[in-house]
Amino acid sequence: MRARRPLAVLLLGGLAAFVALSAAAMARYPGGTWWDSARQGHAFWANFFCDLTQPSRLDGHGPNPAAPLARAAMLALAVALLPFWLLLPLAFPDHPRLGRTTRGLGALSALVSLAVPLTPSLLFPKLHSASSLATGGLGVLAAGAAFVGMWRARAPPIGQLVCATVGIGAGVLNGGLYVAHLAGLALSPLTPVAQKIAALALVAWMGLVASVGWKRP
């Protein structure tokens, strides 16, 4: 792949912007979780990323000044995900069919993810749920194809396999709990925990893929 270095730069730039903007949004978030709307400040393991994008506090008392930063952060992540999925099959070049599956499903997931921060659940509950589930489902399928490809590779990338295992497992748990909530069950406090674990694993995985893309063939 001749464009691997430009893609690696785009991936690293988008990833750095996501981390920096997310940290700034968390610092400005006035507070509130789905279990304690009056809580002050951001709770890393109790708030969803999408809470930061809401136009107002979850208790409805006042605006949310973190929203513009949070939306920019999630859009930066969506931009970074596209080169991530395109570069990922470099870890298993002997399995081109799995590579095409990973790139196709992953690129579609990255494009759909653009809708997530633009449809906050307080304003567009159905659109937000649909775009979140579509993004997560396509991403898990793409990651699953990549996991199989890396597992079958002549020199399996252990670090990437660990990130993929943790990320897929936490992502499936998060999605399952979210679907259960949409079906009528109470929202589990484990849901944002699973989301954050999946996100941390994804960030680490993206960093590893960017380093591979930067190296010369």
pLDDT per residue, tens digit, the chain (217 aa), is 668 899 999 999 999 999 999 999 999 999 999 999 888 999 999 999 999 999 988 877 889 999 999 999 999 999 999 999 999 999 999 999 999 999 999 999 999 999 999 998 888 989 999 999 999 999 999 999 999 999 999 989 999 999 999 999 999 999 999 999 999 999 999 999 999 999 999 999 999 999 998 886 6
Q: Hey, what are 62's tokens?
A: 């006042």
Give the chain's end-to-end CA distance (angstroms, integer).
8
Q: How far is CA 7 from CA 73, 77, 78, 123, 188, in A?
A: 19, 14, 14, 35, 38
The model's pTM: 0.93
